[in-house]
């Protein structure tokens, strides 16, 4: 988890507020959001940090293109918080 302050352009490493992590279940290239989420941005980055896929979500499921295969960094951005992990597609 990384907290981003878009006003200052400076990243903050710590927060005193408890955050609830989005829970995502993967079935192939389909991602299902288990817990309730509001609008978020979903971004896939390749090993060079280049954006491969980006979408604004307000649903509990997203189907990633089948042409995207390999290991990527998955970022889910809600407000000013970026949750990230590695994903194998």
pLDDT in tens, the chain (89 residues): 555 555 545 454 555 555 678 888 999 999 998 877 668 899 999 999 999 999 999 888 999 999 999 999 999 998 888 999 999 99
Backbone phi, then psi, for 81, in 5-degree steps? -115, 130
Q: Which residues contact 71 (CB under 8 A, 6 or more apart)?
A: 47, 86, 87, 88, 89
- 72, with CB counted inside 10 A (0-12, 13-18, 19+), is buried
CA distance 4 to 69: 28
CA distance 89 to 80: 26
């Amino acid at each position: 988890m990384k907290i981003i302050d878009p006003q200052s352009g400076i990243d903050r490493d710590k927060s005193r507020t408890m955050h609830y992590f989005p829970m995502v279940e993967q079935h192939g290239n389909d991602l299902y959001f288990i817990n309730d989420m509001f609008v978020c941005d979903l971004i896939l980055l390749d090993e060079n940090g280049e954006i491969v896929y980006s979408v604004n979500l307000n649903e509990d499921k997203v189907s990633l293109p089948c042409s995207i295969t390999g290991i990527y960094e998955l970022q889910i951005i809600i407000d000013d918080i970026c949750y990230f992990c590695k994903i194998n597609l």
